[in-house]
Amino acid sequence: MDDVVSIPRTRGAVCGVLLILLGLWGGLAPFIGPYIHFGFTPDKAWAYTTGRLYLSAIPGAAALVGGLMVLITRSRAFGISGGVLGALAGVWFIVGDGFVTAVLKNASVNVGAPLQSASLTATLQDYLERAALFFGVGALIVFVAALAIGRFSMLAAKDIEEEADAYSYANQQQSFPTPTGAYRTTTGQFPSVQETTTAQYAPPPPES
C-alpha cells in the first residue's frame, strides 16, 4: 500500500471555501471600502496604490489560490501546500505594513491614512478598519489555513481502511488471473451442461 493515502475532496471543502472568501475580502475590501467611507486613503473606490497592491491584493490572491488548492485536491501534500500558502498570506496581512515600514524602510508602500466618519470616533474607526482589512482578516486566514493543514495531516482510520480494501482487491486480481485456454472446446466455447452430461454417461461402444 502506498505511504501516501488519497483522501476525499470533501476533506478540505469547508476550509477551502472559507479561504477563498477571506482572500476575496482581504484583496478587494480596500478598493471598495470608500463606497461606504470605510478603509484607508485615497478615499476613492478602485483607486490603485502600491500599498493596496502589496499589502492587500497580492496576499488576498495568495489566500484565494491556497483555498482553491485545498478545495479541489485529493493529495495530502498538495492540500498542505495550499494551507501553508494561505497561512503565509494571513501572516502578511498581519505584519506586512509594519515589516515594509520598519524593516525594509520603504515609506512609499503603506496602507494610507484611515478614513473618518461622523458616526464613530477616530480611534474606534481606525481600530475597526485595521481589524477588518488587515490584522483581523489575517488572523482568520491563519486560523482556517492551520485547520486545513491539520485536516490534511490527519490520517483517518476510514482512509486507511478504504486504501487497504482497494490494495487487497488488486492483489486478488493479480493472484487469480482469468483462465484463457482451460476448459475450452474445439469451438472456443465452454461446453454446455447437456454436452457434459452426455459425454460423462454415454454407454461404451459395443465390442466387435
pLDDT digits (tens, 9 = 90+) for 42-99: 999 999 999 999 999 999 999 999 999 999 998 999 999 999 999 999 999 999 999 9
Residues 6+ apart with CB under 8 A from 95: none
pLDDT at 139: 98
pLDDT at 2: 42
DSSP 114: B
pLDDT at 191: 54
pLDDT at 12: 85
pLDDT at 3: 43
Q: Which three three-digit cell numbers place residue 43?
A: 478615499
- Looking at every residue in the chain, the average pLDDT score rounds to 82
Dihedral class, residue 110 (left if φ above 0, else alpha if ψ from -120 to 50, else beta)? beta
Residues 36, 44 contacting (CB under 8 angstroms): no
User: What residues does each domain of the chain span?
Assistant: 9-156
Q: How confident is the model at residue 156 (pLDDT cuts 50, 70, 90)?
A: low
Separation between Cα atoms, residue 55 and residue 44, nearest integer Å: 17
Degrees, nearest 5: CA angle 198-204-207: 155
User: 115-141: per-residue pLDDT in tens?
Assistant: 887 777 888 989 999 999 999 999 999
